[in-house]
Amino acid sequence: MILGTFETHSPEWHAARRWRVGGSEIAQVLGWSRYGTRADLLAAKLNPIDKPSTRAQLRGTHLEAGVLAWATAVHGYEYDPVASIATHVHPVYDWALYNPDALIVDGPLVEVKTTTDRATEKGWGRAGTDAVPLYCRAQVAHGMAVLDLPETRLLCLHGATNGRPDLDIAEYRIKRDRQLEIKLLTAGRAFAAELAAARKDHNHE
């Protein structure tokens, strides 16, 4: 269900995400993230701080459009121009939110990642498989749940292999996993309830 179309990092975009759990946050809720803990996420939502983007975040932001264009040229992807830029929420669980990198017309979810070295950033397997890091798997599982889609095409721009320049874009295909989905929705619902209670206390301070 489309909540709205907001410019990325605009006040409206941040407001839509603040009291919900997005795809890039669900791994923290599950304790699978390399970027922070569940407690860190709760604190950040209660007291948001405007932090500058990291080098990795800037790399992903600026290279995303090129990776998506590559997928169109190589695989013939045709993107939905409206749904691809919208903010979506789960039709039942309003706390579950997702901002896709793109959605193929009548097809799967598309997510873009970038790495410096596929050998040193653990979890990446061969192109064409579903071998991706656990935090990426959690993100796209969350997206498929919110969007009710059966598959994700995860495109990763790898910058090197074992320290050797080896620029390559790999396509990974990840099927919807209902057991994982139940796990993340259960954990997300518990986090959302905790956040709602903390929000009430925070507003009364």
The pLDDT value recorded for residue 164 is 65
Could you say which architecture CATH assigns to the domain 2-204? Alpha-Beta Complex (3.90)
The DSSP H or E segment spanning 169 is strand 164-175
DSSP type of residue 51: P
pLDDT class of 57 with cuts at 50, 70, 90 = confident
Cα gap 178→28, rounded to integer Å: 20
Domain ranges across the chain:
2-204
Measured CA distances, 93 to 20, 42, 80, 84, 189 (Å): 10, 18, 24, 20, 8
For strands 109-115 and 151-161, give the pairing: parallel
122-131, 138-147, 191-200: lowest mean pLDDT where?
A: 122-131
Comparing CA positions, the residue from 204, 197, 205, 196 lying closest to residue 18 is: 196
Kind and range of the H or E run holding 165: strand 164-175
User: Is 58 exposed, middle or buried, given 0-12, 13-18 or 19+ CB atoms closer than 10 A?
Assistant: exposed
Q: Per-residue pLDDT tens for 61-88? A: 778 999 999 999 999 999 999 999 999 9
Please count the CA atoms within 13 angstroms of the CA of 71 that sit on its side-chain side.
Answer: 27
Q: pLDDT higher for 24 or 161?
A: 24
Question: Would you say how long the chain is, in residues?
Answer: 205
CA separation for the pair 178, 186 (Å, rounded): 12
Q: What is the pLDDT of residues 79-130, one digit of tens each?
A: 999 999 999 999 999 999 999 999 999 889 999 998 876 666 778 888 899 9
**Whole-number Å distance between alpha carbons of 115 and 169:** 10
